[in-house]
Each structure stands twice: as structure tokens, then as C-alpha cells.
């Protein structure tokens, strides 16, 4: 797995589906729904099945060997 890339967000929290798109880990909301439902997304080293999961600064999201860390602006 690669070192996490810092992805700044504008607010204190962001939903998982939105973050996947912002971090360019996926191309669309429907793709986010699919990869999350299939259990392919990990948040802080745990499988996450909720697209609406609220992420905070410091959380690390992993999909297909690529990782991104929620960062402050």
C-alpha cells in the first residue's frame, strides 16, 4: 500500500462517498456506492459499508491499494 496522500477538505467533516470523489479514488457517486457496498473501502484499517460515514481530519481511506488522508485546508 502507498503512503497516504493528504486531501484537504473545506469543513470539519466530509462524508465517505464525497471524499472518495474528492480524492480521485473513484469517478462518480454511483461508483462510490458500489465499491463501498462490496466492502472494498477501508477507513482507519476497518472495512466501511456506510457511504454516509462522516470522516474527520486524520482519517485514512484506502481503496484498491491507494490511500488518502483527510487533511485540513
Residues 23-68 pLDDT 10s: 999 999 899 999 999 999 999 999 999 999 999 999 999 999 999 9
Q: Predicted confidence band at 73 (pLDDT cuts at 50, 70, 90)?
A: confident
Is the alpha carbon torsion for 10, 12, 17, 22 positive or negative?
positive
Q: Indicate whether 72 pLDDT > 90.
A: yes
Question: What mean pLDDT is predicted for residues 1-22?
Answer: 93
| Region label for 19, one of left (φ > 0), alpha (ψ between -120 and 50) or beta (otherwise) | alpha
The residue segments making up the domain with residue 53 are: 5-71
Helix (H, G, I), strand (E, B) or coil at 51: coil
- The phi, psi pair for 66, rounded to 5°, reads -105, 135
Could you give the CA distance from residue 37 to residue 8 in angstroms, rounded to a whole number?
25
Q: How confident is the model at residue 1 (pLDDT cuts 50, 70, 90)?
A: low
User: What is the chain's percent helix, strand, coil content, to nearest 5?
Assistant: 20, 35, 45
CATH number at residue 26: 3.10.290.10
Tally the domains of the chain: 1
Amino acid at each position: 500500500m502507498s503512503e497516504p496522500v493528504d486531501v484537504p477538505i473545506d469543513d470539519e467533516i466530509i462524508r465517505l462517498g464525497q471524499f472518495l470523489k474528492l480524492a480521485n479514488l473513484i469517478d462518480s457517486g454511483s461508483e462510490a456506492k458500489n465499491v463501498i457496498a462490496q466492502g472494498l473501502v477501508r477507513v482507519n484499517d476497518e472495512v466501511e459499508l456506510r457511504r454516509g460515514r462522516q470522516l474527520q481530519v486524520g482519517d485514512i481511506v484506502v481503496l484498491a491499494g491507494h490511500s488518502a488522508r483527510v487533511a485540513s485546508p
